[in-house]
Amino acid sequence: MASLRDIENRIKSTKKTSQITKAMQMVSASKLSRAELNAKAFIPYMEKIQEVVGSIAAGTSDLSHPMMISRPVKKTGYIVITSDRGLVGGYNANILRIAKRAIETRHTSKEEVSIISIGQKGHDYFERLGFNIAESKIGLSDHPSFDEIKDIAKRAVGMFTEGEYDEVYLYYNHFVSAIASEVTEKKLLPLTDITSTAATTSYEFEPSGEAILEVLLPQYAESLIYGAVIDGKASEHASSMTAMKTATDNAADLIDSLTLSFNRARQAAITQQITEIVGGVAALE
């Protein structure tokens, strides 16, 4: 049985841990507020560029852009967005589990797969499993700008247009609310269903639809990657806040349990002392 000193020390250490997790919860809540605004502010831009690209593609009779043409799949690129650090609950585990399951379902050899990781956890996971890490981006800020992921996004799109990949998939956590997120799989390239986003609005474009798509399609694909990054960041901060709240609540429960054990042990010690005193007095009579 633990001594009173041992129980008291555990109570003190648990209280210190609780103070740390409470502070981390508040920091994550503050980061989440801004990240959520960033993710929501990006939605109108994405909807408009989808509409414009879809309308141009639908109005172009001879569509032969390489980003919109399916070809036999020999090698697939997987863009997996995770966090750099832990203490985010199941945020990383959910993404990595579903991405790994999809890879195992589609492929029989690791030679058919190339990983583009955004985040330390994804990089370490797939490297440990022996997958080829073609590109990696580590150390994004809490509220990343497009400049931070511009290079890796361009390289990912370039690898497809140059024929190194025959298709590209994107995996990230979509932010639903402060307590909920969902792992999202998106086929990034080829853009075979882009015409489905066309609006009824009629656009006039110069010099030609093909020339505009030549510039716009890579930007569109890169924007999809950036949108997934800032969406994932909102989900990451929400997961961190929830995990730290759970840790703080668990610490409070443990402190209550230890305090009860401490009081019982102290009461038992006092009772023992009284019994010994009474027994000693009785022996002197």
Compute the radius of gyration of the chain from its Cα atoms.
28
Q: State pLDDT tens for residues 45-72.
A: 888 888 878 777 776 655 667 788 888 9
Strand order in the sheet with 76-81: 133-137, 113-118, 76-81, 167-177, 180-189
**pLDDT range class, residue 33, cuts 50, 70, 90:** very high
The reported pLDDT for the residue numbered 63 is 62
Per-residue pLDDT averaged across 240-261, rounded? 93
- The answer on 17 and 76 residing in a single domain is no
Per-residue pLDDT averaged across 225-233, rounded? 95
Crossing angle, helix 146-161 and helix 209-284, to 10 degrees?
120
- The answer on 251 and 128 residing in a single domain is no
DSSP string, 229-263: HHHHHHHHHHHHHHHHHHHHHHHHHHHHHHHHHHH
- The answer on 79 and 158 residing in a single domain is yes
Domain presence at residue 280: no
Domain presence at residue 284: no
Q: State pLDDT tens for residues 109-137.
A: 999 999 999 999 999 999 999 999 999 99
Indicate the number of domains in the chain: 2
Domain presence at residue 33: yes
- The answer on 160 and 132 residing in a single domain is yes
Per-residue pLDDT averaged across 237-258, rounded? 94
| Higher pLDDT pick, 13 / 58 | 13
Domain that holds residue 88: 28-242
Q: State pLDDT tens for residues 88-116.
A: 989 999 999 999 999 999 999 999 999 99
The reported pLDDT for the residue numbered 142 is 93
Q: What is the pTM of this model?
A: 0.86
Per-residue pLDDT averaged across 199-219, rounded? 73
Percent of the chain with pLDDT over 70: 90
Percent of the chain with pLDDT over 90: 57
The reported pLDDT for the residue numbered 146 is 92
Residues 173, 178: Cα–Cα separation, whole Å: 13
User: Which CATH number do you get for residue 12?
Assistant: 1.10.287.80
In the chain the beta strands, taken as DSSP E runs, fall at 76-81, 113-118, 133-137, 167-177, 180-189
Residues 51, 43: Cα–Cα separation, whole Å: 12
Per-residue pLDDT averaged across 263-280, rounded? 79
The reported pLDDT for the residue numbered 285 is 62
Q: Tell me: pLDDT of 18 over 90.
A: yes
Domain presence at residue 282: no
The reported pLDDT for the residue numbered 244 is 94
How confident is the prediction for the chain on average, in pLDDT? Answer: 87
Structure tokens at 213: 């798509």
Residue found by looking up tokens 């799109």 in the block: 157
Domain presence at residue 281: no
The reported pLDDT for the residue numbered 257 is 92
- The answer on 97 and 205 residing in a single domain is yes
- The answer on 184 and 103 residing in a single domain is yes
The reported pLDDT for the residue numbered 32 is 94
- The answer on 17 and 75 residing in a single domain is no
Per-residue pLDDT averaged across 29-37, rounded? 93
DSSP structure class, residue 197:
G
- The answer on 112 and 15 residing in a single domain is no
Per-residue pLDDT averaged across 75-84, rounded? 95
- Of 29, 6, 171, which is closest to residue 100 (Cα–Cα)? 171
User: Which CATH number do you get for residue 112?
Assistant: 3.40.1380.10
- The answer on 184 and 120 residing in a single domain is yes
Q: State pLDDT tens for residues 162-201.
A: 889 999 999 999 999 888 899 999 999 888 776 665 555 6
The reported pLDDT for the residue numbered 127 is 95
The reported pLDDT for the residue numbered 91 is 93
Domain presence at residue 70: yes
- The answer on 266 and 228 residing in a single domain is no
Per-residue pLDDT averaged across 144-152, rounded? 93
- Of 236, 242, 278, 212, which is closest to residue 59 (Cα–Cα)? 212
* 3-class secondary-structure state, position 22: helix
- The answer on 177 and 137 residing in a single domain is yes
- The answer on 120 and 193 residing in a single domain is yes
